[in-house]
Amino acid sequence: MPTAEPPSPATTRARRAPAPRGRFDALDGLRGLAATGVLVLHVWMFSYGDGHRPPKGFLDFTLGELRLGVQLFFVLSGFLIFRPFVAAALDGARRAPSLTRYAIRRAARILPGYWLALAASFLLLRHLDHPMQIDPAQLPVFLLFAQNHFLETIKHLDPPMWTLAIEVSFYATLPLAGLLALRLGAHRRRLLALTLTVVAGGLLSTVLAYTHHWPETLSTSLLPHLLEFGAGMTAAVLLHGRTLRARDAAALAAAGVLLIIANSWWHATGAGSAELRNLVGDAPGVAGIALVLATLVAGPWDGVLLARGPAKWLGAISYGVYLFHFPVIVGLRMTGHWPEDSLGRDLLAVLAITLPAATFSWFVVERPAIRWAQRRTSGERARTRAAKAPEPRRQRTAERPALRPQPAGGDTYN
């Protein structure tokens, strides 16, 4: 594998592998657990408020820090979506990943489920006359993922959707970083400088958001969250073509978990300087998430618990779980069906509706759209190859056909 420098001591070179897969079952399972964690967080927030906010115990601190599931989503996106560009650059591929294929697959993955949840939330909140409802004239703002840019729409309708506006902003700008990576070529250090620049942009934006009192319409933009996306992109650069030895993977996993725990304790308990916490944000936790991600991707373990069974199922329906759980909470509370005496009963009530709704969305809306996009882009990829293929030269009867080498970098997108 062409690199500009030797591998670090913690890694070894992997055998030349075929084009990388776009999906990792263990990461899907991790995403499913994160989406469920966000659901638990929001149920706890309402339950804790109904209890008149008593002094927090260990369980309350722990459940409150499930908010890091959002940071996990962003790190995963940075890693998975930047990965094909890294593979193309470091493997010396002769063609860039198809941007048409990228756009179609991203749209098919995000839009159908989003539109379904958007319509359901709009109708439900209008029926309930809820304060978070929006006027029909404001629907185009949500359809264009621009809700974070207006005070009249931000955190309205389905509040968790604010993160999707940031995700889509990242999807729109990532090809610029990908094409720049291809220009930098098969030099891991140059690519690392690129991704660390993205991380630095996120850190600087976090500082400026605090010191210059950014409005919510700006603090919920892509800029402060470049930290998380950049961390995932950095992991993609460092891990491509490399594997971790068991001892090194265990050390990185332990360090990652400790960083996540330390970050959560720091923010949950309010220890130390509040100004320092606001300036640093969740940077230690994001670093920990990236380290845990590295061990799942490049470590010697298969991640069976995350890749099979309930975790795999949660990974498949995670998008629906994330989109539908908040309207379910609102509907239960507004119709008098919210159990107010037990966090456990609250969770069961929300899960009893959210999981079937998310499963319906996956089988009826999301998966058919994904499969359509795969068929559509497979044809586009074949036509592109045929258009670029040179006219075959005449060959003698006894001469074996000349074989063209295949591009080294895959262009699969999660």
**223: confidence class by pLDDT, cuts 50, 70, 90:** very high
Residue 210's pLDDT band (cuts 50, 70, 90) = very high
Question: Are 116 and 130 a contacting pair, CB within 8 Å?
Answer: no
99 in a structural domain: yes
The pTM of the full predicted model, rounded to 2 decimals, is 0.87
- Please indicate, yes or no, if residue 397 is contained in any of the structural domains: no
Q: Would you place residue 56 in the very low, low, confident or very high pLDDT band (cuts 50, 70, 90)?
A: confident
From CA 361, how far away is CA 365, in angstroms rounded? 5
307 band by pLDDT with thresholds 50, 70 and 90: confident
Residue 320 forms part of a structural domain: yes
* Residue 414 CB coordination number (10 Å): 19
Cross-strand pairs, 36: none
Asked if the structure places residue 392 within a domain, the reply is: no
Contacts of 146 (CB under 8 A, 6+ apart): 153, 165
CB 32 within 8 A of CB 311: yes
Count of domains observed in the chain: 1
Domain span holding position 98: 26-48+57-384
- Whether residue 310 is contained in a domain is answered as yes
Query: Where is 243: in which H helix or E strand?
Result: strand 242-244
Flag whether 291 is in a domain: yes
pLDDT greater at residue 406 or residue 251? 251
22: pLDDT strictly greater than 50 = no
Q: Within a domain: residue 401? A: no
Asked if the structure places residue 255 within a domain, the reply is yes
Q: Is the pLDDT of residue 185 over 60?
A: yes
> Residue 400: which pLDDT band, with cuts at 50, 70 and 90?
very low
